[in-house]
Amino acid sequence: MRALRALSRRRLVTAICFCLAFSLSPVSAQRTTSPASSASLTITTEPNAIVWLDEIRRGTTDASGKLNITKISAGRHTLRVRANGFKETTLPLLPGKRGNVPVRLVRTTDAAELAFQRAETARETAKDDQARRQAAEMYREALKLRSAFPAAHVGLARVFLDLNEYQEAIAEIAAARSLRPVYAEASAVEGRIHREGAFEDKAIASFRRAIRESRGFQPEAHVGLARVLEEKGQLDEATAEYRKALEQLSDSEPVIYQLLGAAYEKQQKYKEALAAYEKYLELAPNGSLAPALRSVIDQLKRDAAGQEIIP
């Protein structure tokens, strides 16, 4: 189990960065986090378009331009769609809107937007530092073309974070915030930078700021805060933050169940850890952590059974 925890921690930064690679903005007061319903949406737009629902990245359309999104909660929602070569589009979804939702994208000739799109794709697909530095140059190109581009500053900060260049990353966050003072995504990334730099108190402050700026709806910040609290030994608070992130992500990121399970193990809450790991396997039976989790579940079942018979 110790080996599993070490494995999960080594993979965590990459997994969370990729899985939670959405642009978060201050949320509407009308957003709801009520339980998901069985209804679904089918987004119809350009092929290979990225789709966000309530600023949560829900996937990419297929070759026919379709993406099905399940577990849609009641109430109003906001849909955002971006495809390379097209102008990004955001539209509201009124309560009860389900079924097919066509989204028409318009081609763009905005050089700054096109450079930003190339940079985002390069960052998300980068496998080594050379590729990350190429992505950084693309962000710089976008910023040369449009100096007031806070999202490009945040994207560049993410690259610097991946390169372990923390001072440069913090400078980009400051530049983004000078253009957009209330910016939940920037605060969440700032928290990750401080955490990687071992400034725990600053990390906690940044993550909490991100949560306030988003009026409570900021899964990346909840996960980041949970990690810091877990490292400080505040395990009850950490598990609560992991659960908030899971609720907001509607079970779309199974890796967080692995993190939750590991936190429960530290508390010797074996039944809860077992349930979290089994949920990961239910959602991602072929996930990267699935083999390791299967190897410890039998032991956890014995530990959980032992807890039941101890008076």
Residue range 135-186, pLDDT digits in tens: 999 999 999 999 999 999 999 999 999 999 999 999 999 999 999 999 999 9
**Higher pLDDT, residue 93 or 200:** 200
Q: What is the pLDDT of residues 256-271, one digit of tens each?
A: 999 999 999 999 998 9
Residue 251 lies in a domain: no
Residue 181 lies in a domain: no
The structure's pTM equals: 0.79
Domain extent, residue 71, equals: 41-102
For residue 242, CA distances in Å to 174, 183, 253, 257 come to 27, 22, 11, 8
Q: What is the pLDDT of residues 58-106, one digit of tens each?
A: 889 999 999 998 777 777 888 999 999 999 999 998 776 778 899 999 9
273-291: b (≥16 Cβ within 10 Å) or e? bbbbbbbbbeebeebebbe
> Average model confidence (pLDDT) for the chain?
85
Residue 5 lies in a domain: no
pLDDT band at 307 (very low <50, low <70, confident <90, very high): low
Residue 201 lies in a domain: no
Q: Residue 218 above 80 pLDDT? A: yes
Other Cβ atoms closer than 10 A to 166: 18
Residue 49 lies in a domain: yes
For residue 287, CA distances in Å to 224, 265, 279, 292, 300 come to 21, 20, 12, 10, 20
The pLDDT value given to residue 2: 47
Residue 217 lies in a domain: no
- How many structural domains is the chain composed of? 1
Name residues whose C-beta falls within 8 Å of residue 260's C-beta, 6 or more positions apart in sequence: 239, 242, 243, 246, 276
Q: 309 burial class (0-12, 13-18, 19+ CB within 10 angstroms)?
A: exposed
Q: What is the pLDDT of residues 134-148, one digit of tens each?
A: 999 999 999 999 999
Residue 73 lies in a domain: yes
pLDDT band at 39 (very low <50, low <70, confident <90, very high): low
pLDDT band at 216 (very low <50, low <70, confident <90, very high): confident
Q: For position 48, which CATH number holds?
A: 2.60.40.1120
User: Which residue shows structure tokens 């378009």?
Assistant: 49
CA dist 259 and 8 (Å) reads 8
- The answer to whether 13 and 193 have CB atoms below 8 angstroms apart is no
